[in-house]
Amino acid sequence: MHPKNLSIKDFTYQLPEERIAFHPLPNRDDARLLIFEKRKIQTDIYRHIAQHIPGGSLVIFNNTRVVEARLLFKKDTGGLIEIFCLQPHEMYADITSAMNETGKVTWLCLIGGAAKWKSGQLLSLPFSVSGQSYSLKAALVGKRSDCYVVALSWDSSLSFAEVLHHAGHVPLPPYIKRADETADKNRYQTVFARYDGSVAAPTAGLHFTKEVLASLKEKGIRQQFVTLHVGAGTFKPVKAETMQEHEMHAEFIEVGRELIQQLLEHKEGPLVAVGTTSLRTLESLFWLGAKLISQPGIFDHTLPVLTQWEPYETLSPPSKEATLRALLAYLDVQNASQLIAKTQIIIAPGYDFKMINGLVTNFHQPASTLLLLVAALVGNDWRKIYNYALENHFRFLSYGDGCLLWV
């Protein structure tokens, strides 16, 4: 069956609210770890994850950094308008350059209380940095079918990333029904987070500590990083009866030439993605390379983009080695050290994995595209895995426990 014809009703389960983790554990690596290999389940904790990954493996993490994307503006009347910064306007080449803008920026946003925001009304949000007072101003520029266009400006040389850090709030997922706390600034962020741009954490990475990373290195397990800036679309519910009617969210990815070369040279040992975002990035590399092989020069004058159904429409895909070499050749032509692209890939049952052998991930919401990805990886055993986790009191969703799944 083509994934377009899948019904999301076949990928749901009962998730009691008491199984949702509303706060993280005191220690990141105390989180429980379910290991699924050769259709068998065992359990451990993340502190010992190196014991369950063979030496010589290559483990890929997403080093995106969550920005404080929720801005709470108070009107003169006392009314509250919440601006949730989704992604930069198309005028910017990528998220990183938009985050480095100073003085002003244009952003695509969700707005809570939009009906209270009168046309032409300028909102102001005071904030301070090292005792110095500043003001962030917001003007409503336009409305689109699924978001608003907002012009933001501030009276300093601070970058937009710095402004968000000092003026904004941590964008906790909608199912964590509480206000963000000071601790969330640290705990809703991986220890290896580096590049500002996400409005949701790559949650599988939240369980890794410097000690756990060191234990992987000691076993000869290599570590590399990709950057996928997670958008709010990761929480977008599937409301369509079949997946054909669901539009997958598109996200920016950034991958260095060094990693592509390392993927090409990696012949022995499994390739493990930490998080669905890392997995989607790696699989997208294959299909972007395939597009370059079938249509040389297609990305010479435009941002490389992979749409959601393209992987299912390629009848005779090339080898992994050929696609990676095509990407390296493209970077040579562009005289670039990293690949910047957008991916809309949807991974669902029927997908043929080209890059990875294993996945570290959390337990996901019922009827979500993330659960579809898990089902694509382990087949119908996803029910066995999730039933086991529920029956054995695992903690679910972003601040919850997780699993190591082998293809």
Please state, in angstroms and rounded to a whole number, the distance separating the CA atoms of residues 386 and 392: 10
Amino acid making up residue 221: I
Closest CA to 225 of 187, 263, 175: 263
Phi and psi of 91, rounded to 5°? Answer: -65, -20
Percent of the chain with pLDDT over 90: 88
Report whether pLDDT(233) > 80: no
Q: Are 161 and 196 in contact (CB under 8 A)?
A: yes
CATH of 3-65+189-406, one of 1.10.10.10, 3.40.1780.10, 3.30.450.40, 2.60.40.10: 3.40.1780.10
* Structure confidence at residue 55 (pLDDT): 97
pTM (two decimals): 0.94
pLDDT-derived band at 231, boundaries 50, 70, 90 = confident
Output DSSP code: residue 47. Answer: G
Q: Kindly report, residue by residue over 356-389, the tens digit of the pLDDT.
A: 999 999 999 999 999 999 999 999 999 999 999 9
Q: Are 63 and 278 in contact (CB under 8 A)?
A: no
Please state, in angstroms and rounded to a whole number, the distance separating the CA atoms of residues 100 and 123: 22
Q: Kindly report, residue by residue over 127-166, the tens digit of the pLDDT.
A: 999 999 999 999 999 999 889 999 999 999 999 999 999 9
* Structure confidence at residue 93 (pLDDT): 87
* Structure confidence at residue 240 (pLDDT): 87
CATH 3.40.1780.10 location in the chain = 3-65+189-406
CB within 8 Å of 250: residues ≥ 6 apart: 231, 233, 305, 342, 343, 344
